Amino acid sequence: MGGEEDIDRAVASSRRCYESDEWQSLTATERGELLDALADEIEANIDRLSRAETLANGKLLSAMRSQVESLPGWYRYYAGLADKVTGDTIQSDKERMFTFTLTEPYGVVGVITPWNSPLMLATYKLAPAFAAGNTAVLKPSEITPVSAIMLAELALDAGFPPGALNVVTGYGDAGAALSTHDNIDKVAFTGGTDTGSKVGAAAGKNIIPATLELGGKSANIVFPDADLDNAVVGAVKGIFAATGQTCIAGSRLFLHESIHDEFVDRLVERAESLALGDPRDENTEMGPVAFDGQFEKVQKYVDIGKEEATLVTGGEQRTDLSGELFYAPTIFTGVENDMRIAQEEIFGPVLSVLTYEDEEEVIELANDTEYGLAAGVWTENVRRAIRVSSKLEAGVVWVNAYRESSFTTPSGGYKKSGIGIEKGKDAIEQYIQRKSVWIETEGIVSDPFKLI
C-alpha cells in the first residue's frame, strides 16, 4: 500500500538514475541492447508471468499467455527503433545559418496502468520510453501488482541500472501522488476517462505532456452484404473476449434492419454456448469478472438495461460455477443510442444491439458518443469499407476483423477516448522532445543594435 512518501522515493531514485553517468553515457544503440536483453528475460519467464496475470485478474490463461508471448516482440521492436529516431539537418531560409535538430528524452516518466492487461499496457509505455532514453516509475493497479514487480526484477536481471524502472504498488492515492508529482517530466496513463481527466489536469498544472489511453464505447457495424458467419464470430470476440473487460470492446453492435433477427438468433445461440469456467482450463472461453467492485458495476448497468431495452439472454450471475464472479454473457436488443447502456462504458460482458436503415444513418449513430477509441466494419464491399472507415471517429478501425493489435501499427483515441499515440514508430515520438540548434557560420556582420 504505497503512498506519497513511496512515490517521492521512487521518483527521486529514477531521477538519480536518469542523471547518472551510467544512464547518460548509454548510446541509443546500447539502450536498444538493454531492451533486447529484457525481451530475452521475458521470453524465459513466460509461464510465470502469464500465470501471475491470470491469478490476479481472472482472464483466460491462454489469452494472458498469448499476450506475454508477444511482449518480447514489442521490446525488440523498440530496441530496433532506439538508434533510428534522429534529428534533421534543415536548409534554413536565413543566410549564414546552419540549423539542425536534436532528439532528447523528457527525463522521468510516470506510468499508471489498469488491471485488465497489466504487462501489455505497461509495455505500450515503457518500451518506447526506455528506447527514447527516459527512466520510469510504474504504478500498477492495486488489483494486479505482482506482474509489474516481476517485470522490474527482470529489468534488473537484463542489466538495467537500479532506478531505471521503479514500481510502487498501491491504491488511488499512490497514482494521484505520481501524476501530480513536480519531479516527473511526462505522465502516461491507461484507465477510465474520469480518472484520465484528473491525470491530464495534473499534467496541465505542472506543464508536462500526458499520453492518455481512456475509455471506449466502440461501434461494431454489420452491413447486409457481410459474411454473417465471420461477423457473428467478430461480434462475440468484440464483446465477450476478456469478459468484456477491455477498453476496445465492441459493446455497441449496429445491425442493418434486414439482417437483425437472423443475426441476433445466431449471436444468442453462440453466446449461450460459451464455456465459462476456470480461466486456467484451456477449454474455457470466458472467465469471471475480475473483482467484486467490477461485478457490482456490471450488475448495476444490467439492471438499468432491463428498464431501458429488451434482455434476450444473460443478465444474471452464473451460480452453477465454482466462484461468485461469473456473469452470463448478456445481450440487449431494442437499444436506442441515447440509452445509458449505449452511451456509458460498462466494462463487462454486456452487448447493446441497435438497428439502422442506411450507411449515412449508421455513421451518424456510431459517431454519436463522447468516445472514439475503436470500431469494427463488416462488409464485402471494399468501397464501402474505405468510405465508412474514413468517416468513423475512432482511433482504430478494423474491417472484417476485431481486436487485432501489433507493435508496428499506431493507435490512439478520438474525443474522450484519449490523447496521444501508443504502438508503432509514432509512439516513441511521445517520449522525446526536439531541440533546434542555430549556428552562425560567418561571424556577426549585421548591426548589433538592429533586433530584426
Distances (CA, A) of 378 to 143, 153, 275: 36, 44, 26
Q: What are the beta bridge partners of residue 261?
A: none
Decide if 429 is catalytic.
no
Range list of H helices, 135-171: 146-157
Percent of the chain beyond pLDDT 70? 98
Mean pLDDT of the chain: 96
Nearest to 268 by CA among 311, 223, 225: 311
Tell me which of 131-140, 161-170, 246-255, 439-448 is least confident: 439-448
* pLDDT tens by residue, 1-38: 999 999 999 999 999 999 999 999 999 999 999 999 99
Give the pLDDT confidence score for residue 341 in this predicted structure.
98
Decide if 43 is catalytic.
no
What is the distance between the alpha carbons of residues 51 and 64, in angstroms, rounded to a whole number?
A: 8
CA angle 29, 34, 35 (to 5 degrees): 95
Give the pLDDT confidence score for residue 450 in this predicted structure.
62
Non-local (6+) Cβ contacts of 375 within 8 A are 218, 219, 220, 221, 366, 392, 394, 396, 397, 398
* 95 SS3 class: coil
Is residue 145 classed exposed, middle or buried when 0-12, 13-18 and 19+ CB atoms within 10 A define those classes?
buried
| pLDDT tops 80 at residue 374 | yes
Of 41, 53, 213, 345, the active-site residue reads 213
Answer for the pair 222, 254: CB distance below 8 angstroms, yes or no.
yes
Find the mean pLDDT for residues 377-385: 98
Give the pLDDT confidence score for residue 154 in this predicted structure.
98
Percent of the chain beyond pLDDT 90? 96
Q: C-alpha cell of 235? A: 461480434
Answer for the pair 50, 93: CB distance below 8 angstroms, yes or no.
no
Is residue 136 classed exposed, middle or buried when 0-12, 13-18 and 19+ CB atoms within 10 A define those classes?
buried
Domain architecture of the chain: domains with CATH:
4-214+413-437 (3.40.605.10), 219-399 (3.40.309.10)
What is the distance between the alpha carbons of residues 195 and 208, in angstroms, rounded to a whole number?
A: 17
- What band does 443 get if pLDDT is binned at 50, 70 and 90? confident
Tell me which of 153-157, 269-273, 348-352, 447-451 is least confident: 447-451
What is the distance between the alpha carbons of residues 32 and 131, in angstroms, rounded to a whole number?
A: 6
Q: In what order do the strands lie in the sheet with 396-399?
A: 310-313, 330-333, 350-356, 252-256, 219-222, 374-378, 396-399
Find the mean pLDDT for residues 372-381: 98
* 311 SS3 class: strand
* pLDDT tens by residue, 300-358: 999 999 999 999 999 999 999 989 999 999 999 999 999 999 999 999 999 999 999 99
Answer for the pair 254, 354: CB distance below 8 angstroms, yes or no.
yes
Give the pLDDT confidence score for residue 442 in this predicted structure.
85
Give the pLDDT confidence score for residue 95 in this predicted structure.
86
Q: C-alpha cell of 409? A: 501499427
Give the pLDDT confidence score for residue 113 in this predicted structure.
98
| pLDDT tops 60 at residue 360 | yes
| pLDDT tops 90 at residue 378 | yes
| pLDDT tops 60 at residue 200 | yes
Give the pLDDT confidence score for residue 451 in this predicted structure.
59
| pLDDT tops 60 at residue 452 | no
Give the pLDDT confidence score for residue 446 in this predicted structure.
61
Of 17, 41, 53, 247, the active-site residue reads 247
Give the pLDDT confidence score for residue 239 in this predicted structure.
98
* pLDDT tens by residue, 388-412: 999 999 999 999 999 999 999 999 9
- What band does 447 get if pLDDT is binned at 50, 70 and 90? low
